[in-house]
Amino acid sequence: MRCSADPDDWRAGGFGIYIHWPFCESKCPYCDFNSHVAKHIDQDRWRRAYLAEIDRHARLLPGRVVNSIFFGGGTPSLMDPATTADILSAIRAAWPMANDCEITLEANPGSVEAGRFAAYADAGVNRVSLGVQALNDRDLRRLGRLHGVDDAMRALEIARTTFGRISFDLIYARQDQTLADWRQELSRALELAGDHISLYQLTIEDGTAFAERFRHGGLRGLPDEGLASDLYETTLSMAEDAGYHAYEVSNLARPGAESRHNTIYWRYGDYVGIGPGAHGRITLQGRRHATEAWRMPDRWLAAVDGGNGNSVDEVLTPQDEIAEFLLMGLRLSEGIDLTRLHRLGHTPDRATLDHLQAIGMHEISGDRLHATRNGRMVLNTLVAELLPG
Write the pLDDT tens digit of every residue in 319-328.
Answer: 999 999 999 9
Q: How far apart are CA 172 and CA 215, in angstroms?
A: 21
Task: Classify residue 325: in a domain, yes or no.
Answer: yes
Mean predicted confidence (pLDDT) in 199-203: 94
Predicted confidence (pLDDT) at residue 142 exceeds the cutoff of 50: yes
Task: Classify residue 279: in a domain, yes or no.
Answer: no
Task: Classify residue 389: in a domain, yes or no.
Answer: yes
pLDDT band (50, 70, 90) for residue 1: very low
Q: Are residues 26 and 149 in the same domain?
A: yes
Task: Classify residue 85: in a domain, yes or no.
Answer: yes
Task: Classify residue 285: in a domain, yes or no.
Answer: no
Question: Looking at residue 25, what is its pLDDT?
Answer: 87
Q: Are residues 223 and 358 in the same domain?
A: no
- CATH code (residue 338): 1.10.10.920
Q: Are residues 350 and 210 in the same domain?
A: no
Q: Are residues 249 and 360 in the same domain?
A: no
Mean predicted confidence (pLDDT) in 146-167: 94
Q: Are residues 40 and 171 in the same domain?
A: yes
Task: Classify residue 301: in a domain, yes or no.
Answer: no
Q: Are residues 25 and 163 in the same domain?
A: yes
Task: Classify residue 289: in a domain, yes or no.
Answer: no
Q: Are residues 325 and 199 in the same domain?
A: no
Q: How many domains does the chain have?
A: 2
Question: Looking at residue 4, what is its pLDDT?
Answer: 45
Q: Which of 249, 265, 281 is the last residue of a domain?
A: 265
Task: Classify residue 311: in a domain, yes or no.
Answer: no
- CATH code (residue 124): 3.20.20.70
Write the pLDDT tens digit of every residue in 80-112.
Answer: 999 999 999 999 999 999 999 999 999 999 877
Q: Are residues 214 and 343 in the same domain?
A: no
Q: Which of 233, 265, 297 is the last residue of a domain?
A: 265
Q: Are residues 215 and 356 in the same domain?
A: no
Task: Determine the structural domain holding residue 248 and report its residue range.
Answer: 10-265
Write the pLDDT tens digit of every residue in 288-310.
Answer: 999 999 999 999 999 999 999 99
Question: Looking at residue 32, what is its pLDDT?
Answer: 82
Mean predicted confidence (pLDDT) in 39-52: 95
Q: Are residues 188 and 255 in the same domain?
A: yes
Q: Which of 250, 265, 280 is the last residue of a domain?
A: 265
Q: Are residues 70 and 147 in the same domain?
A: yes
Question: Looking at residue 194, what is its pLDDT?
Answer: 86
Question: Looking at residue 377, what is its pLDDT?
Answer: 87
Q: Are residues 162 and 82 in the same domain?
A: yes
Question: In sequence order, what are the residues at sequence separation of 6 or more whose Cβ sits closer than 8 angstroms to the Cβ of residue 129?
Answer: 104, 105, 106, 107, 166, 167, 168, 169, 198
Specify the pTM.
0.95
